[in-house]
A and B are shown apart, each in its own frame.
Chain A
């Protein structure tokens, strides 16, 4: 009698676990579909002929026509613009982490006057519309020779990416017990060594996240790029500032051309982004 009940209980709990597992997997699949479906639709339209793009009802299978994509790839100067985009995004990444991470560390570890003022100042760069700042910045750049350089544009993009770098590194530093650092000091490490050996590995994901944001922000920014670069146009400014007014099929192809490199970049850094798991689970 008791044995039977025990077995029944075992069965039901296994059932529940199995059902829970099923719900868990289903949820993940639904969320993936939610994210991927619009991307798939973009791909369909980018890989279809103009007639298919304009047709109704629309087909949910691409026509595998690469003419629209080829149109963009055939632009003279695409390679150079791609290089410029990567260069600008690279400098933006380096600058925003180089300037932002120390600030994030200071905000998390010290109490000092002007702390909130600094935080607000950093955030203001995101809260104020860039198109209005572009004019005084462009005047300044033309006067100083920064105009039409990758560095100049990267400086502007850095102001946009810096709040992300500062706040994200701040929130991660704040999550690391200061005892960890203190322990390293008592073991004879200098402050710098302790930071380097103990804290840095722990905030690697935060730095990677900041890098991703910096890259993506710089990559997708159109307005400043259109104003501040002429010969050294970025890919976005070069090809895509006008896709809105271009025919449908080119809109989608252009959108796809813009999206792919950003996706490759995120894919490349994903293991840093989520490196944390190994460490925290130790």
Chain B
């Protein structure tokens, strides 16, 4: 045993050494280090259908878990040399890396027209193009067709109000034997986006300034009401497509990419529709993913070429097929898109073009406080809704936290809040 152990050890060390020798020398592939398109099928589609068309070989590595993604890039920045060529991530994930991203304003995009609002967001409040918008999505509602029979009288599914949604959820809960509304409140769920971009704008026309206003109190009380008719398993839901497919829930709110599987597997059984409206309009917010180049990239020029490739109309269409994220450049979609694109595309258009549409922008300038900003909303939810604490008191306390987050970061207000001089105030 011992002899074999020593032999294996020697052999293993030799092999390890050999790997060490080859590891550093030939790094031909561009490493695309991404937090998007992490589900295995999407990763596979990114590799096989999107990136295979690029002139150079690309190593696409995606992880939904922010831990390894962030640790790796931070380590490379600290060590001062890296292997990552291109970063792919959400707007919010870039903000804390802002200082270490290469200016992309000189990238030659040809005759591609990039959405100007998103391009502006990509500057992260600086004078440089920190990231280029790569793809977009938003959050919509989805329902099983069975649930439509229980819609409150006179309610138009494409112009629902929060009151009608609550009523609908109540009827469903009472007449089908259990709550059928689902909400992604699990650890991987995107619940904070609902409060920031949907509930608050719909009731207070704000996300920061009016955080603890009486209108906000009303909004939380409405949500508490909705929660009574919400599936109690919601606290472990991450992607609503799963409980929709198992029919554990019939009506749900989530990210378009996280509903796509339901639409694609059973397109005839599900409908997509806009988020509901409140007293101050139909609040909704975009999801923007971008591509950026860290200052430690081994070959900046190649990475820039790849970034430009990602914005080509053909690539954008291929990306849509692979990930269910929509293009950020002007492009004509072909007719043969998957069901999820058709269904959610319609719902998004209805939501954006509604008379009462109240779109939010994304925060700029939060820097390393991005996570803590989100946490204010998550904590408010967990305390008010799950722990049943007093709404007024929680809002006052969380409001203080929010105020210090805004002051420490110095982030100015963003829509729907009125623009501010300096840090966005909490009234």
Give residues in A with beta carbon < 8 Å to B: 50-51, 54-56, 71-72, 75-76, 87, 90-91, 93-95, 97-98, 131, 134-135, 138-139, 142-143, 145-152, 154, 196, 200, 204, 207, 222-223, 226-227, 230-233, 239, 241-248, 250, 254, 272
Contacts and interface: CB of A to CB of B under 8 A. Distances in A.
Interface in B26-52: 27, 29, 31, 38-41, 43-44, 47
Rank and list the top 3 A-B pairs by shortest CB-CB distance, nearest first: A151-B16, A138-B75, A226-B68
Given A90-B12, A154-B16, A242-B40, A138 B71 contact: yes
Interface residues of B, number: 54
B5 A97 contact: yes
Contact of B79 (A51, A75, A139): A139
14 contacts: A87-B16, A91-B16, A94-B5, A94-B12, A147-B23, A150-B16, A151-B13, A151-B20, A200-B2, A222-B68, A226-B65, A241-B68, A242-B39, A247-B261
A231 B23 contact: yes
Chain A interface secondary structure, helix, strand, loop or mixed? helix
Contacts of B83: 147-148, 230
A131 B67 contact: yes
Given A131-B67, A145-B23, A230-B59, A254 B82 contact: no
Contacts of B9: 91, 94-95, 98
Nearest to B75: A138
A242 B62 contact: yes
Chain B interface secondary structure, helix, strand, loop or mixed? helix
Nearest to A207: B1
B13 A91 contact: yes
Contacts of B65: 226, 241-242, 244
A135 B20 contact: no
B265 interface: yes
Given A138-B72, A226-B63, A87 B12 contact: yes
B40 A246 contact: yes
A250 B8 contact: no
Interface stretch (B129-137, B242-250, B285-293, B336-344): B242-250
Interface string B162-206: 000000000000000000000000001000000000000000000
A116 B237 CA distance: 45
B239 A245 contact: yes
B74 A135 contact: yes
A70 to B, nearest CB: 13
A244 B16 contact: no
B63 A254 contact: no
A56 B244 CA distance: 12
Contacts of A56: 246-248
A71 to B, nearest CB: 8
B226 to A, nearest CB: 25
B15 interface: yes
Interface in B262-278: 265
B110 interface: no
A148 B71 contact: no
Nearest to B64: A245
Contacts of A272: 1
A227 B5 contact: no
A50 B245 CA distance: 10
A87 B13 CA distance: 10
B287 to A, nearest CB: 15
B179 to A, nearest CB: 16
Contacts of A152: 20
A131 B71 contact: yes
Nearest to A224: B68
